[in-house]
Structure 1
């Protein structure tokens, strides 16, 4: 693995470039951009899939989102969907500068919210020849099912406060522990599994610090990752979901994307007995996902 940097506008994006075994810089390789979930960083589930894909002959790039992790950009902890999509375009830009990347064989894989961003990027980024999602979510749909008008009122009030000298409001993506969640009356399956992944030794990483700029919520609520997919998402598509359904909605969103996509070649695969977070790192679930991802990318990138 090589640590790399590339630009989005004026700041650096931090990436890990996973190289195939017996890498030969004189050869041309197919490449896959791996996009992490919201609140995540490149060393977590996106990095796991990137590493496994590299072991199967692909060059795989996982990167931190702008404003987060090891990447630059201000304000910190901003989750801006449009910039997340631009990060993907910039990752493709970077790959095209590498002499050992075949510029005509670039694919895209997104996990959770990264799946929604990946699908959205592929609609306008024609250099992407195949796109896959693992428990991909349309984050706007999830947030719009909450008290979104109340949230937008609160965001507006917070922007006024910050314009008049208040400190930016930083909130958490999840409670910091299962105990904290229970004390707050939160016992939903997906949320508890998110805490178990992100806030315990199972998946935690120092730069994945559970911080979200509160005013990001306006961007998240209004961004529809699948808008115009029925016209613009034409590349080969693979959607992978688990059938243990929780409130985050990746099962429903997976079928929504599959049904909407204009792709003439599209598949959906259900991993039986797997939850949203099983498909982040659990050996059995991720192995089954990779059994579908590898031949999909081989078929469309080799």
Structure 2
């Protein structure tokens, strides 16, 4: 693995470049851009699970931290802006196509959770992506209009506007944490809905906890997400081969419904829907049997298309 810096706008994106066994820089390799979940970082599932597995299969995999998050640049911190998140994917492709060991005509994208939606959105206009893989992908705009705004997005936008005005006038930033502090606290407060509780088990224990995984966002800058949708014009623009992997256990984050929706709506002529029986959202992050089932479909899919 190599740590690299990817030039973005006025800052760099931090990324881990995962190389195949017996890597030879004189050769050209297919590549996969791996995007992390919302509130996560490159060391959680996108890099250490899927990126690492694809590198073992002969791909150059690059897992990156979103702008304003993890080790990437951008101020203020902890902004979750879908438009920037989508743009980050193209900055990473710009980096890859300048590497002599990457075949610029054989680049795919794989996103997990929120990046499952972001990668789909990016691929609609980023034609350098030859194939798209969404693993338990979530349409963050839909989620912000529903659970994350208590199903009242207009009221949430008003609160965000007021908070942004306050911050512009010098008041302290408000950072919202997505999760309880621990599984014990989740149980104590009744936060036992499957996605929320399993997120706490993943991000708040040694199972998945990493320094860059903040699981929080700057409240005043979430307005863009409320007005955004990952799947807009997918019927026309999302034409690349598409594989959507979901667990068949529905949860409040909505990956099950979002996965089935984009599979139906995508213009892709070659598309696959992989449903993991008994799989939850977070099983597809790192649970061995579920991940193995996903990779058993992803590896031949990518071999066919990139």
TMscore range, shorter length: over 0.9
Shift of 1:183: 4.1
Equivalent residue, structure 2, for 1:170: 175
Contact 1:236 1:300 in 2 (8 A): yes
Stretches of structure 1 lacking an aligned partner (at least 5 in a row): none
Q: C-alpha separation between the residues in 2 aligned to 1:185 and 1:282?
A: 24
Q: What is the DSSP-based 3-state SS (H/G/I as helix, E as strand, rest coil) of the residue aligned with 1:230?
A: helix
Calculate the TM-score normalised by the size of structure 1: 0.98
Contact 2:8 2:88 in 1 (8 A): yes
Contact 2:38 2:215 in 1 (8 A): no
Q: C-alpha separation between the residues in 2 aligned to 1:212 and 1:288?
A: 32
Shift of 1:186: 2.3
Q: Given the superposition, is the C-alpha separation of residues 151 and 183 from structure 1 closer, same or farther in structure 2, using an over 3 Å criterion?
A: farther
Shift of 1:90: 0.4
Q: C-alpha separation between the residues in 2 aligned to 1:210 and 1:259?
A: 30
Range that drifts further, 209-218 or 237-246: 209-218
Equivalent residue, structure 1, for 2:209: 204
Shift of 1:157: 1.2
Equivalent residue, structure 1, for 2:2: 2
Q: Deviation string for 1:59-83 (max 9, x for gaps)? A: 1000000000000001100001010
Q: What is the DSSP-based 3-state SS (H/G/I as helix, E as strand, rest coil) of the residue aligned with 1:227?
A: coil
Equivalent residue, structure 2, for 1:248: 253
Q: Report matched runs for 1:241-280 at 5 Å.
A: 241-280=246-285
Q: C-alpha separation between the residues in 1 aligned to 2:206 and 2:153?
A: 33
Q: Deviation string for 1:239-280 (max 9, x for gaps)? A: 000011111110100011111100111110101111000000
Q: Report matched runs for 1:79-118 at 5 Å.
A: 79-118=80-119
Equivalent residue, structure 2, for 1:28: 28
Shift of 1:180: 2.6
Aligned length: 301
Q: CA RMSD in A?
A: 1.0
Q: Which runs of at least 4 in structure 1 moved beyond 4 Å after TM superposition?
A: none
Q: C-alpha separation between the residues in 1 aligned to 2:257 and 2:221?
A: 24
Contact 2:67 2:85 in 1 (8 A): yes
Q: C-alpha separation between the residues in 1 aligned to 2:164 and 2:259?
A: 34
Contact 1:40 1:208 in 2 (8 A): yes
Range that drifts further, 274-283 or 137-146: 137-146
Stretches of structure 2 lacking an aligned partner (at least 5 in a row): none
Q: Given the superposition, is the C-alpha separation of residues 243 and 34 from structure 1 closer, same or farther in structure 2, using an over 3 Å criterion?
A: same
Q: Report matched runs for 1:137-152 at 5 Å.
A: 137-145=138-146, 146-152=151-157
